[in-house]
Amino acid sequence: MLSLVLSPMKLASLVVVLMGTFVSISSESLVGVWLGLELNLYGFLVVMNPDGHHNPEPCVKYFVVQSTGSILMLSGFLFLTEECVESGLIMSSLGVLLKSGVFPLHSWVPSIIKNSSWLASGLMLTWQKISPLVFLSMIMPSKVLWSVIVLMAGIGAVGGLNQNSVRVMSAYSSFVHTSWMLLGLMWSTVVFVGYFAVYSLSVGLFFYGCSLSDKASMVGQFSSAASGMGLLMLMGMPPFLGFLAKVLIFLISSGPLISVCIMSSVISLKFYMDFFYSMMTKSLVDKNKMEMKFMWAFVVIVNFMGVVLVLGLLS
């Protein structure tokens, strides 16, 4: 369960995670990028299991995957220093693809997300992607990156259709959103930051609401509102707030790639709507229906701010 009160160990680990990311994206050397990713990894391992009482399986799996990716990256960097450019780029790209969970080295993400805590899962789908995605867009050729975007969008849309676990559904949903973020990163860093901010807020609200879903009546109502708000943003349908992020990428991109991303988002609406319908049905059973009506009205009003922002952007 997510908590607003963090233990000193978890707080220190989160600081290390943030520092690692900033070191990685601000470094001008390959060694600095690798060092930042390693710093991020060691801090995040503590976040996954801060007191040693959680299931160690996802933590061990994550360590093995990230360590393998780090070895591939470091090997690629050594090849680059020896002027073996082609081999170095291939090794580095494979390492970054594995660390970020991007096609074709993406299969580890759902299994680890499924058994992790809500906080670790949320960070894994959002903050942990920043450094690898930024570095990936710098070293990978455009044509290869286009293929990755198309395949990630397709896998995320189709793979999430038959999932019953909320965490696994969110993992496949992240594949679709990763394709949008990579597409935005190819054209504009500012647009990428905007899309990432909206996506992170959506995942944060959705996971926080889900973590509170087993609480008593009042907290249960709040969890429904938070989950609903996050889910509506993740859908990206007009006029909700998530629609703004997709509009920004649509305005700056061109070609068939944007069509593939749109199609994958339309397909993913199926599993979003299934979960949203079940959540709405459960909330309507609540005895205090008036408070629930006010709560859902607030959710809709906040998301309708998206259409105001879109109109202001287009004017």
Q: State residue 52's pLDDT score.
A: 62
Instruction: Looking at the structure, tell me whether residues 42 and 109 fall in a common domain.
Output: yes
What is the pTM assigned to this prediction? 0.84
Instruction: Looking at the structure, tell me whether residues 297 and 171 fall in a common domain.
Output: yes
Instruction: Read off the tokens for 247.
Output: 């509009």
Cis peptide before 132 (omega within 30 of 0): no
Instruction: Looking at the structure, tell me whether residues 172 and 283 fall in a common domain.
Output: yes
> What is the mean pLDDT of the segment spanning 233-252?
81
> What is the mean pLDDT of the segment spanning 65-78?
89
Q: How many helices (H) and strands (E) does the chain have?
A: 14, 0
What CA dihedral angle connects 131, 133, 134 and 136, to 10 degrees? 120
Instruction: Looking at the structure, tell me whether residues 134 and 146 fall in a common domain.
Output: no
Domain boundary residue, one of 109, 139, 169: 139
Residue 136 has pLDDT above 90, yes or no: no
Residue 275 belongs to a domain: yes
Domain boundary residue, one of 111, 139, 167: 139
Residue 114: domain span = 7-139
Residue 224 has pLDDT above 50, yes or no: yes
Instruction: Looking at the structure, tell me whether residues 108 and 237 fall in a common domain.
Output: no
Instruction: Looking at the structure, tell me whether residues 145 and 282 fall in a common domain.
Output: yes
Residue 2 has pLDDT above 60, yes or no: no
Residue 14 belongs to a domain: yes
C-alpha closest to that of 222 among 295, 276, 154, 282: 295
Instruction: Looking at the structure, tell me whether residues 269 and 155 fall in a common domain.
Output: yes
Residue 205 belongs to a domain: yes
Instruction: Looking at the structure, tell me whether residues 197 and 209 fall in a common domain.
Output: yes
Instruction: Looking at the structure, tell me whether residues 154 and 287 fall in a common domain.
Output: yes
C-alpha closest to that of 166 among 313, 276, 42: 276
How many domains does one find in the chain?
2
Instruction: Looking at the structure, tell me whether residues 11 and 132 fall in a common domain.
Output: yes
Instruction: Looking at the structure, tell me whether residues 200 and 290 fall in a common domain.
Output: yes
Residue 307 has pLDDT above 80, yes or no: no
Residue 227 has pLDDT above 70, yes or no: yes
Domain boundary residue, one of 107, 139, 171: 139
